[in-house]
A and B are shown apart, each in its own frame.
Chain A
Amino acid sequence: MNFNWMAWTAPTASFFGIIFCLLVIMTIWELKCPGGGPRIGILRFETTRGDRLFVSLLGSAFIHIFWLALFPGLSLYWALVFSCIYALAVFRWV
């Protein structure tokens, strides 16, 4: 078996590493205090921690895409900063 064709690079590997770590952290969190802290936020339906993580990640992906579309000259790290702010907002209010 040869998995060279997957063409791993350091940045993509660390990207998936971070996602994996996030999932592990969420699992541990869930085992420590089960239930997922359900509440009804500004989206007017019940969300749990996992939903909020999903909304943050998906939203961040779109923030990056729109950043590329609107400001092709600027660094993507700004988009990353915005994504982090967005994720914090999601965990606080959604």
Chain B
Amino acid sequence: MIAKQTNQKAWFMVLPVFLVVAFSAVIPLMTVVNYSVQDTFGNNVFTWVGMDWFKDLIHSERFHAAFLKQLMFSGIILLIEVPLGIMIALAMPKKGWGVPVCLISMALPLLIPWNVVGTIWQIFGRVDIGLLGHSLASLGFDYNYTQDPIAAWITLIIMDVWHWTSLVVLLCYAGLCSIPEAYYQAAKIDGASRWSVFRYIQLPKMQRVLLIAILLRFMDSFMIYTEPFVITGGGPGNSTTFMSIDLVKLAIGQFDLGPAAAMSLVYFLVILLLCWVFYTVMSNIGEESSNGGK
């Protein structure tokens, strides 16, 4: 690592970014903290309730359920998307006409507005008019995502895999492309097996991008809102009510500002903790590999 020049005036270059982000981040955050200790019946009349909302929240079944569902969802999609993404990235062509075709068609789902993704799958999964639902129904499966919780979960997971695996693929592909051809030739001369090429050449090179991929996928799946909202609306029953959906139901649907604010804060703290752990791991691995490379 090259030592950077110390220059406090650099703050002036960062200042515009700092101000804009602070305006959108700090004021709302302060407001959320203020709401979380008060009760309101509208018209800006607030009464102090102390930590009651937090107590209610921590002991509420609904919160536990939403939190568990959230963790489960994030866990499942990571377990599917990461190995699948690596596999596809390894199989992708390195040159020729296949490269742009792959890149463009794979990036396409990432650029579809999230509620349109929801709409696509809502239509695709319907038994009466959707290809997936209709095919499953005619094959004899009892599939109906608006009534059966398991079908709803499967639909959401396939939807997320469809939507986001490409991100993992593209990241891994970028990592793989940075491996010089000479490495592979050396491995060939040594007679290395396919597995050891992957384990000792490709995986270490992908390590950093893979961490970025896991970080982004985990965070984004942890705050997923729009797609399940459009597809299932949190149902059937409460089976797909993830944290964000529950939060918006509480805050905008029932206008319970206090409980919603308390939930926001706990949600935010969990995200902050995870973010910090991932970031620390990521920057430490980055430092090791950049030191080790010299």
Contact = CB atoms under 8 A, between A and B. Distances in A.
A15 B272 CA distance: 19
Contact of B59 (A6, A61, A69): A69
Given A12-B34, A54-B276, A7 B44 contact: yes
A6 B58 contact: no
A6 B37 contact: no
B284 interface: yes
Interface in B15-46: 27, 30-31, 33-35, 37-38, 40, 44, 46
Contacts of B269: 58, 61-62, 65
A93 B273 CA distance: 20
Nearest to B272: A58
B54 interface: yes
A5 B51 contact: no
Contact of A7 (B38, B54, B284): B38
A72 B273 contact: no
Contacts of B31: 5-7
Nearest to B27: A6
A62 B27 CA distance: 22
A14 to B, nearest CB: 12
B103 interface: no
B33 A12 contact: yes
Contact of B266 (A6, A15, A65, A76): A65
Nearest to A51: B280
Interface string A9-34: 10110011000000000000000001
A16 B33 CA distance: 10
Contacts of B35: 7
Contacts of A45: 280, 284
B58 A62 contact: no
B37 A11 contact: yes
A72 B58 CA distance: 10
A7 B37 CA distance: 10
Interface in A50-94: 54, 58, 61-62, 65, 68-69, 72, 76
A33 to B, nearest CB: 13
Nearest to A55: B276
Contacts of A34: 6
A72 B55 contact: yes
Interface string A32-57: 00100000000001000000001000
Contacts of B280: 45
In order of increasing CB-CB distance, the 9 nearest A-B pairs are: A69-B58, A7-B34, A7-B46, A6-B31, A12-B34, A45-B284, A4-B44, A68-B58, A61-B269
Interface of B: 6, 27, 30-31, 33-35, 37-38, 40, 44, 46, 48, 51, 54-55, 58-59, 266, 269, 272-273, 276, 280, 284
